[in-house]
Amino acid sequence: MRSRAGMGSSAVASPPSDLSQILPRVLIVSRRTVRKNKFVDFVGEYHLDLIVSYGAVPVIVPRVTGVHRLLDSFEPIHGVLLCEGEDIDPSLYESEALNLSPEEVEEIRKLHASDTAIDREKDSIELALAKLCLERNIPYLGICRGSQVLNVACGGTLHQDIEKEVSKHCPKENVTAHINYDNYDGHRHKVRVVKETPLHEWFRDSLDEDEMEIWVNSYHHQGVKRLAQRFVPMAFAPDGLIEGFYDPDAYSPDDGKFIMGLQFHPERMRNEETDQFDYPGCPAAYQRFVKAVIAYQKKLNSSTQVPKPLKLNTELERKRKTIIRSFSLAKDLYNHGSALNPSKESELRVGAEFLESNKALSQYQENRLKQMGATIRSGNSYLEGMKLKENKEKLVRNILSKMTVEQLSDLVSFHHMMAQICSDLLETRLHDVNGFDDDHSS
């Protein structure tokens, strides 16, 4: 059993480092088991080790009642990794009756007792997280059950038992054992990797270009039946079962994009004595996933940063101060009712000219200026402008209401990107103006 330094220690905990505040956060939902007659939540340590080793912080979401309604509390979310667990409630994906007899269903429950106990709370938490990732383009890696959750979240379906639904319909030489209760980590079966996919890229040095096969570890009695339309298969078992898939339109780790499901367990494909991976490509899924998580965090931070205040050049700053003096003078005249000093008339005129050239003021601004004795010019034009703006907003809302979640998500990302580009260009322009003024003043 792996040791955990510091557990149970009475030493005073050191304050959190700065890294704990800046490293990206990957949410992982725990699995429930019973220990000493009580429920215990756990996550496989291999997953946690790999996430940490590549530069992210795993945040464990406990499988407890009501957590699916509290997911906002786990923000910011930079990535989601979902892994092992019980069978997904078939009512969430299967509308047709299963062609299995009651005897066969009972046989399945006895043979896979630890997996067939439906956990609806875990289903609710993980499906909510998967849909959140799809809506906001948050990097997602699904391992084993996590790949099934991803497929179901996108409208796909599952075989409720591979042996009963797949094995008995395929040639004997293609029948594949996807689980071995007597040898969890040591069990292996072949898969054929699809060319020009991420799996091909990761395992290229270990593949024969003619056979394109590797041996993988797996532990499941269910699997993808109908793959959701947005996904592309990356690997197949000899019996035809899909062992890996991804969204090619959402795969670009450098750009913070990663949506993928692996039915097998690359993290457990290790030598039992040395703990070395079977293939150099085994940890690549986690490495690329965390790379996307880090890039996504950077994009998120850049789109939510408070804009830097604009630096006005000398001339603009002088005008700003002049306008402020003009309004202050108007306010004093209004409050005290004193006569205007002729020498101050030119200063008051600056404020009037500013109002003439800036018609579109908010209601609050209008009220404040009225209190200071100012008059809003061109009221009709202002109201017409507001009405036109309202009509445009209704038209845009009508168009957006017909768009899909994916289209809306892409549109939001595009506008974030455009806002950042405009901000950068504006700052550059202002910097150039300031530099020009400095050169001429010297």
| Residues designated catalytic | 144, 265, 267
Could you tell me if 188 and 195 are in contact, meaning their C-beta atoms sit under 8 angstroms apart?
Answer: no
Query: Which helix (H) or strand (E) is 33 found in, with range?
Result: strand 31-35
Query: What does residue 38 show for φ and ψ, rounded to 5 degrees?
Result: -135, 150
Neighbouring residues of 333: CB distance < 8 A, sequence distance ≥ 6 = 340, 348, 373
Neighbours of 77 (CB within 10 A): 24
Write b or e for each residue in 351-379: b if 16 or more Cβ atoms lie within 10 A of its Cβ, otherwise e: beeebeeeeeeeeeeeeebeebbbeeeee
Given its phi and psi angles, is residue 256 left (phi above 0), alpha (psi -120 to 50 degrees) or beta? left
Q: Which of 219, 190, 184 is nearest to 203 (CA)?
A: 190
d(CA 104, CA 261): 29
d(CA 200, CA 80): 23
DSSP 114-143: TTSS--HHHHHHHHHHHHHHHHHT--EEEE
Sign of CA pseudo-dihedral 206, 211, 215, 216: positive
Structure tokens at 7: 């557990």
Structure tokens at 351: 């404020």
Rounded to a whole number of angstroms, the distance between the first and last alpha carbons of the chain is 73
